[in-house]
């Protein structure tokens, strides 16, 4: 999969930057977020470089979102959270800091998980 300029997530997908893999197939890569907001905080990314949701075509969106339930269940099984938030930030004012489309899977453990 060709790397896009200096994109940090393309480097992670290509293995140039190490990551803790949660799931991988031909289309999608999932790995633990480096700053774990809660235990098991995971990012799911398309292998094809895509800036954010505005650049996702139907095929890419279908392959990315189709994997989310399976990956969410794998995280649920491993970490046994009480719940889970699924989030996606697009453009800087909305909190996007890495400009390679990614979905946050955020396990929730109840009042003590430190995240509001
Ligand atoms: P955003 O703010 O764009 O929605 O989310 C980007 C996420 O990428 C952040 O939660 C940040 O912690 C994570 N992140 C940034 N650089 C790295 C990295 O090198 N490795 C991993 N595993 N996560 C990263
Ligand atoms: Zn990229």
Transcribe 43-93 into DSSP letters: EEEESS---SGGG--HHHHHHHHHHHHHHHHHHHHHH--SEEEEE---SGG
Task: Tell me, rounded to whole angstroms, the distance of Cα 61 from its chain centroid.
Answer: 13
Walk me through the domains of the chain, giving residue ranges and CATH numbers: 8-113 (3.30.428.10)
The structure's pTM equals 0.96
Query: Mean pLDDT score of the chain, rounded to an integer?
Result: 95
Ligand number nearest CA of 43 is 1
How is residue 55 written in tokens?
């650049």
Tens of pLDDT along 23-78? 999 999 999 999 999 999 999 999 999 999 999 999 999 999 999 999 999 999 99
Q: Is 102 a catalytic residue?
A: yes
Where residue 114 falls among pLDDT bands split at 50, 70, 90? confident
Residue 58 CA to ligand 2 center (angstroms) comes to 18
Q: In angstroms, rounded to a whole number, what is the distance separating the alpha carbons of residues 75 and 69?
A: 10
Q: Residue 2 above 70 pLDDT?
A: no
């Amino acid at each position: 999969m060709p790397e896009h300029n200096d994109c940090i997530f393309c480097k992670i997908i290509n293995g140039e930057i190490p990551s803790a893999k949660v799931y991988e197939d031909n289309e999608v890569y999932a790995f633990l977020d480096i700053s774990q907001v809660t235990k098991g905080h995971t990012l799911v990314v398309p292998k094809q470089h895509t800036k954010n949701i505005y650049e996702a075509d139907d095929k890419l969106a279908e392959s990315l979102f189709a994997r989310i339930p399976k990956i969410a269940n794998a995280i649920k099984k491993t970490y046994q959270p009480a719940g889970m938030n699924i989030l996606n930030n697009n453009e800087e004012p909305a909190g996007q800091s890495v400009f390679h489309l990614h979905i946050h899977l955020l396990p929730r453990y109840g009042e003590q998980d430190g995240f509001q």
